């Protein structure tokens, strides 16, 4: 399949390498302002993929069809465009990509973090994207790292390949078509009920707040130079993580989702071999996407929607408040809320419909 991967971070570069090794025709694209992140790949048209302890897929030198910051070149003729950038960069990418999209193309945001809903809304407001399929996943395809100091540029490393990743399109009736076309690419994909479900089902938004905020002193003192999942997930960090998971479960329950099991979040983690992998050193500070993405685009919309439906999330709110003060920002104002998402203040059925069926009838 002819696929364009947009982004220059861990996930985008790893997907590009992985898909190329799987035999696809892959273009890696990043916006000109982020060109440095894909500079190594751009000079060689290759990425070297390493496996790690829990890797099953192909590894080795991946040859990319194209590596470019030219948007027209990147989008033209692509059957699928996978956007793998932090949610705070979504509006910039959507603005850039929107006018280039052509009927029949699939844009999948991986992970979604409300990206599919926001992209669909963006396209509708600009009168763009007719006949385009917009979808998102709940998670990244891999736990992976790119271009870290011990890897060097042009190299990516897969720590864990996920065994199941859920996908939904908006409007939700499009999900079947997207699944039909993307399942051959990623057999682990499973259809989710809606993009509300995939956005809420991202385990990063549960795990990263307590992980960072309850290790804030250690992270800032060491610049993140310790094994954060192995040593920093202590009993109280695990309990706060589970408490947020429970609050998220309660929100999902209001919508009737088949929520992922999030009980004992870290019992699974601590049994996983990847927590022993050197990828799991901590972020250098609290501006990292673990906070700057997962709080405003994860916990803030969760809490805002819950609150509209009469459900208070005290532990989730605690994470938001501490993040705000720590980073001297107001994630309540900067993040996604019922207001900024343009969602109705009605019941759960109205919110679900507004998110899942935005733009009306299926193609």
Positions in the binding site for a second copy (CB under 8 A)? 211, 213-221, 228, 231-237, 239-240, 243, 286, 314-315, 317-319, 321-322, 325-328
Task: Work out the angle at residue 91's Cα, subtended by the Cα atoms of residues 87 and 96, and round it to the nearest 5 degrees.
Answer: 125
Q: Smallest distance, Å, CB 244 to a second copy?
A: 9
Q: Smallest distance, Å, CB 276 to a second copy?
A: 15
Q: Smallest distance, Å, CB 147 to a second copy?
A: 27
Q: Smallest distance, Å, CB 250 to a second copy?
A: 15
Nearer to a second copy, 230 or 363 (CB): 230
Nearer to a second copy, 130 or 231 (CB): 231
Nearer to a second copy, 106 or 313 (CB): 313
Q: Smallest distance, Å, CB 334 to a second copy?
A: 16
Nearer to a second copy, 149 or 235 (CB): 235
Burial of 276-314, coded b for 16+ CB within 10 Å and e otherwise, reads: ebebbbbbeebebbbbbbbbbbbbbbbbbbbebbeeebe
Nearer to a second copy, 35 or 333 (CB): 333
Residue 64's contacts (CB-CB under 8 Å, 6 or more residues apart) are: 16, 17, 20, 26, 27, 28, 41, 45, 46, 47
**Integer angstrom CA distances of residue 117 from 137, 172, 195, 342:** 12, 11, 7, 11
């Amino acid at each position: 399949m002819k696929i364009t991967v947009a982004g220059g971070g861990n996930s985008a570069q790893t997907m590009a390498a992985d898909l190329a090794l799987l035999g696809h025709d892959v273009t890696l694209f990043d916006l000109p302002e982020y060109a440095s992140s894909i500079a190594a790949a751009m000079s060689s048209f290759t990425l070297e993929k390493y496996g790690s302890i829990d890797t099953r897929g192909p590894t080795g030198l991946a040859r990319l069809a194209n590596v470019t910051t030219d948007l027209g070149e990147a989008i033209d003729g692509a059957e699928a465009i996978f956007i793998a950038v932090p949610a705070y960069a979504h509006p910039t990418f959507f603005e850039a990509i929107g006018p280039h999209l052509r009927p029949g193309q699939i844009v999948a945001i991986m992970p979604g973090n409300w990206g599919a809903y926001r992209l669909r809304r963006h396209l509708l407001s600009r009168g763009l994207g007719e006949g385009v399929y917009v979808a998102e996943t709940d998670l990244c395809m891999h736990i992976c790292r790119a271009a870290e100091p011990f890897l060097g540029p042009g190299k990516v490393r897969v720590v864990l390949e996920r065994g199941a990743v859920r996908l939904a399109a908006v409007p939700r009736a499009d999900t079947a078509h997207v699944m039909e076309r993307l399942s051959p690419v990623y057999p682990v994909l499973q259809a989710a009920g809606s993009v509300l479900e995939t956005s809420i089902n991202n385990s990063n938004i549960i795990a990263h707040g307590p992980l960072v905020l309850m290790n804030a002193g250690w992270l800032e003192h060491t610049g993140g130079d310790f094994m954060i999942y192995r040593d920093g997930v202590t009993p109280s960090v695990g309990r706060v993580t589970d408490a947020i998971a429970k609050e998220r479960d309660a929100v999902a329950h209001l919508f009737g989702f088949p929520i992922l099991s999030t009980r004992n979040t870290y019992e699974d983690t601590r049994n996983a071999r990847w927590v022993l992998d050197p990828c799991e050193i901590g972020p250098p500070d609290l501006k990292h996407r673990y906070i700057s993405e997962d709080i405003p685009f994860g916990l803030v919309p969760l809490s805002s929607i819950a609150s509209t439906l009469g459900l208070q999330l005290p532990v989730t709110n605690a994470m938001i408040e501490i993040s705000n003060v720590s980073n001297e920002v107001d994630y309540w104002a900067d993040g996604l809320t019922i207001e900024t998402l343009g969602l109705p203040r009605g019941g759960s059925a109205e919110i679900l419909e507004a998110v899942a069926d935005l733009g009306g009838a299926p193609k």
